[in-house]
Structure 1
Amino acid sequence: MFIFQNSYRFPIWPYIKLTFCLWLVLPVFNGAAYIYENFVRKYVKVGSYVNPNYPEGQRRVLQMISLDARKSVEKYIEKYGPEAFDRVIKAAEKEAKKH
């Protein structure tokens, strides 16, 4: 690593760093989003809040799924009601027992 710290030994190193920084920052390349989605997101737990008004079974299921899936499920519950979500869970459990 000593070679990369002294740019006089590796003269294009500042240009490589500049190119990488531009790739990260410029919206046309979307580099920072790529790094986050592919490397960082799986290690960061964001939005662990689950509505306490949901029944215990639904809260357990919502805590086990990803944030994106949780948002979709919460929209489904708002649209069709918690009973519809219970039916979906029971159908999934029945399907899982078959396999």
Structure 2
Amino acid sequence: MGHFWTVINALHSLAGPTVTLLYPLYASVRAIESPSKLDDEQWLAYWILYSFLTLMEMVAAPVLEWIPIWYQMKVVLIAWLVLPQFRGAAFIYERFVREQLRKYNTRVGKDHYPSDGYNKFAEFVSISPKKVEHEAH
């Protein structure tokens, strides 16, 4: 019975990093290389939510230590966010995050950013390395 628990603990230790990092990293690279934008949205949404969850965990660590099954609940939640059958990350982003961003943008309005400074930044960000390399020659 001791070997069984050792195997279970080893699987448990591997499940978290595999579900939270390894598979999402692999899927993100595949999404970047694919022509579809749908998978890009899923994985960008995942990394936004994963970052938020990690920050929340850091702040709430003293409280979460008292919840004995927090790690298991987190792995199940992240599996829902990650698995392509559910597209949970895209769902959460569309349903909650985007809605909050829209509310924030309507409160701030377009005058929040100086038009010329914002446009210069947007132009800088939109320059692709290939475009810069082509213009240099």
TM-score interval for Structure 1 and Structure 2 normalised by the shorter chain: 0.3 to 0.5
Q: What TM-score comes out, normalization by structure 2 length? A: 0.27
The structure whose residues are more often helix, as a share, is 2
Considering Cα pairs closer than 8 Å and 6+ residues apart, tell me whether 1 or 2 has the greater RCO: 2
Which has the greater radius of gyration?
1
